Structure 1
Amino acid sequence: MRDITREVFEAVLFDNDGTLTDSTAAVERAWQAWAAHHGVPLERLVGFHGVPSRGIVAAVVDDHIDVDLATADIDRRELEDLEGVLPLPGAAAALTALPGRAAVVTSASRELADLRLAAAGLVAPEAYVTADDITRGKPDPQPYLIAAERLGVDPARCLVVEDAPAGLRSGRAAGAATLAVTTTSTEQALRDLADLVVADLSAVVFEVVDGGVRVRVTD
């Protein structure tokens, strides 16, 4: 494990849903309606948080269902439901503290990510990686490697902030340090994949210093 409070990072790479925004209710409504429409038992959907929608669909639908059409259906349902999407504690302050040294790395499409961030009243950093930009989703390292490349930084000197095991595995595989928030998963599910686990982003402060970013745990 790395002591992230003693490192200086070149950039901080944030997941969105469950890390910056609380979209749980909207996500659950959309997927429950989708599952009922396609005859997919809800128990098949367990354990996919942080995985792109196409990856989930391909893993859970029966062979007779067209994956492209079923993916388009869930994507439409999610775009249409933004009710109750809110910022998570500390999210706004974290983004504001890191001009030019942050990126959003999400398994959602760019359109959906933009809508959810706007609904939560958050201003996203310029650097952005979405499902539209990748060929392999979390837990593959590709999303975070692309984010580091876009910021022009070394992935090993980045801090990945995530709420889901798939995202933490993605960050670890990219060589980054990892900070987990227990907003959607238990500490037990995250602690072996994270260098530090906190309740949410209000538990840490990001400070831009010479050479990068330091992380401080609040008292």
Structure 2
Amino acid sequence: MDEQSPTRSAAVTERVEPAIAGRTFDAVLFDMDGTLVDSTPAVERSWATWGAEYGLTRSALAAGHGQPASQLVRLLLAADQIDGGLARIAELELEDLHDITVLPGAAELLAAMPADRVAIVTSATRQLAEARIAAAGLTAPAVVVTFDDVTHGKPNPEPFLTGAARLGIDPSRCLVVEDAPAGIKAGRAAGCATLAVTTTSTRSELDADLVVDSLAQVSIVPGPEGFSLLVG
């Protein structure tokens, strides 16, 4: 999820895991929360308040990591509580934009990609995505796919398929960058290669082609047949 310039030493290429070594891509589809921006403190505060108001445990809330808020609300609340619950979590999250920062390497990695070959694909609503991107001071690419743009959120592949389509790139030529198991599952289902960062999940939870601890370890390198990765 972090972004990096293509200036790292070529000596680190041998450290790239076999599942993704030698592959090239035409576009990169980045998740937002936990991938490009660190919104975890704000997210946890908002959902803790919301959960307390509805009498829910932390473990019940944790099950929805990486999925759209509306999916989690519909899973946890009775039918007659859903509309109120959705409105309340939206209110809480839009009110709490404190401590939201760009994750290490994220801005560099975005800047390394041509503008027409990169997208943000997030489970957040359009309003929340724009608010968090602005709060982090991150420059968003032209293509930003939010939950408002799709019928089915992650782990359904629709968000990443939509991102690839808006860029005009075959999903099989796209690299998905994620921090959550639901996002990795969505990227795989879309036919994309997957890169995971352990900002919010453990390595054992991330079934990606490549897992790194920080995007500051990753470089995008342009070539005649697309972009490749250096890790180190």
Shorter-chain TM-score: which interval?
over 0.9
Shift of 1:85: 0.4
Runs of 4+ in 1 over 6 A off after TM superposition: none
Distance between the aligned counterparts of 2:187 and 2:211, measured in 1?
A: 14
Asked if residue 154 in structure 1 is aligned to residue 166 in structure 2, the reply is no
Shift of 1:62: 3.4
Aligned equivalent of 1:164: 180
Shift of 1:147: 0.4
TM-score (norm 1): 0.94
Aligned equivalent of 1:21: 37
Tell me how large the CA RMSD over aligned residues is.
Answer: 1.4
Deviations 1:140-173 (A, max 9, x none): 0000000000000100110000000000000000
Aligned equivalent of 2:221: 207
Q: Which segments of 5 or more consecutive residues in structure 2 lack a partner in the other structure? A: 1-16
Aligned equivalent of 1:45: 61
Question: Which one of 108, 111, 126 corresponds to residue 110 of structure 1?
Answer: 126
Question: Which one of 94, 106, 112 corresponds to residue 79 of structure 1?
Answer: 94
Distance between the aligned counterparts of 1:128 and 1:62, measured in 2?
A: 32
**What is the percentage of aligned positions where both structures have the same residue?**
53
TM-score (norm 2): 0.89
Give the paired residue count: 215
Task: Kindly report which structure 2 residues correspond to 1:173-212, keeping only aligned pairs within 5 A, or say none.
Answer: 173-190=189-206, 193-212=207-226
The worse-fitting range, judged by mean Cα deviation, of 179-188 and 2-11 is 2-11
Question: Which one of 98, 102, 105 corresponds to residue 113 of structure 2?
Answer: 98
Contact 1:2/1:177, CA 8 A, preserved across alignment: no
The worse-fitting range, judged by mean Cα deviation, of 194-203 and 112-121 is 112-121
Distance between the aligned counterparts of 1:140 and 1:77, measured in 2?
A: 26
Distance between the aligned counterparts of 2:79 and 2:130, measured in 1?
A: 33
Shift of 1:5: 3.4
